[in-house]
Amino acid sequence: MSQHDLFSPLNLSIDPTVANLLPYDGIVQDCGVIFRQDDADAYFDALYDGIDWQHDVLKLYGKTITTARQVAWYGDDGVQYRYSGSTRTALPWPEPLLQLKAAIEARLAAIHPISFNACLLNLYHDGSQGMGWHSDDEPKLGQMPIIASLSLGATRKFVLRHKSSKQKIELSLAHGQLIVMRGSTQRYWQHALMKTTKVQQPRINLTFRQIL
């Protein structure tokens, strides 16, 4: 794919009938793989090489922990996000992220119109790196946040777990696949990215958000 093609508008079909994967207490919709293989490859390469990746530093139970995975926070001017004891100020949108944001907003227009103002990116270098159980329930996301999660790279297992019943919903998220978490999902469910020794390839996850 040429540089011009990479940054050109994407034509995505819009299906307003995407089913809810959760049995209760929230809405998670699997929009499927929304990019052609060569498009997904080009975006992965552009982000892998062009994003200002940094190891995440978290404060948990009084300890400072540096993660193996790497993260980046981009968004509109001045947008800040606080989690795990740290406040992050968004870097300016690079062109690939703006294109992805516009494409995903167009894809979601028939489901729930939204304009995202920030994106948190995580780079997992292989299956030894994952994400533990958590909810994206920070106050600045609002009471019923809409989070669009795009996967690029290696297929990984993503699991949702109800906070009370402990019921689990498992998904294998593939290269170019988009899921949307909205409604009361973050209030009642946690989610995690499972570690595995079977995956040797990297994965990039982008979660587009609206910070209030």
Answer yes or no: is 124 a known binding residue: yes
Answer yes or no: is 122 a known binding residue: yes
Answer yes or no: is 48 a known binding residue: no
Answer yes or no: is 137 a known binding residue: yes
Those residues with Cβ within 8 angstroms of residue 179's Cβ, 6 or more apart along the chain or in another chain: 28, 29, 30, 31, 148, 149, 158, 171, 173
Answer yes or no: is 161 a known binding residue: no
Query: Nearest-CA neighbor of 104 among 141, 146, 140, 144?
Result: 146
Instruction: Identify the helix (H) or strand (E) that includes residue 50.
Output: helix 37-50
Answer yes or no: is 20 a known binding residue: no
Measured between alpha carbons, how far is 90 from 208 in angstroms, rounded to an integer?
12
Determine the distance from the C-alpha atom of residue 134 to the mean position of all C-alpha atoms in its chain, rounded to a whole number: 13
Confirm if 69 and 129 have CB atoms less than 8 A apart.
yes
Answer yes or no: is 175 a known binding residue: no
Answer yes or no: is 67 a known binding residue: no
Answer yes or no: is 61 a known binding residue: no
Answer yes or no: is 207 a known binding residue: yes
Query: Nearest-CA neighbor of 206 among 177, 185, 184, 186?
Result: 177
Answer yes or no: is 82 a known binding residue: yes
Question: Annotated binding site: which residue ranges?
Answer: 81-83, 122, 124, 134, 137, 191, 203, 207, 209
Q: Which residues are annotated as a binding site for substrate?
A: 81-83, 137
Binding site members for 2-oxoglutarate: 122, 124, 134, 191, 203, 207, 209
